[in-house]
Amino acid sequence: MDCDQGYKGDCCCGCEHQVPLNVCGCGKCSTVEGWICTIFWKMSQARGEQGVMVHQSRQHGCCEMHTKRTSIVKLTEETNDIEK
């Protein structure tokens, strides 16, 4: 499903490089502190370098490195619930 908050339907909320940053480390809680973009870390790892991950306070946005997520499951920003 395309997002109207991104660019021409492409949005960080549908990107395979975005992961939620959870406050609790137990893995069961769905409380989201923010979002992490992992694309720069993945690119650095491929070159054998130490990379960085970018923290985002919002789930929505878009950049030139956007790669559409193949999974249909995503975490919604508004309720922090799994949406299928």
How much of the chain exceeds pLDDT 70, in percent? Answer: 77
DSSP 80: -
Residue 30 lies in a domain: yes
Domain hosting 41: range is 12-83
pLDDT of residue 22: 80
Would you say residue 4 lies in a domain? no
- Does the residue 71 lie in any domain? yes
Our count of domains for the chain comes to 1
Please report the pLDDT score of residue 70 as a whole number: 78
Cβ neighbours around 13 below 10 Å, total: 22
Average pLDDT over residues 9-27: 82
Flag whether 19 is in a domain.
yes
> Is 5 inside a domain boundary?
no
Nearest to 51 by CA among 62, 42, 64, 60: 42
Please identify which residue in the block is written with the tokens 């960085």: 52
Structure confidence at residue 38 as a pLDDT band (50, 70, 90): very high
In a domain, residue 2? The reply is no
Q: Considering the entire predicted model, what is its pTM? A: 0.66
28 domain residue, yes or no? yes
- What's the token pair of residue 51? 């990379």
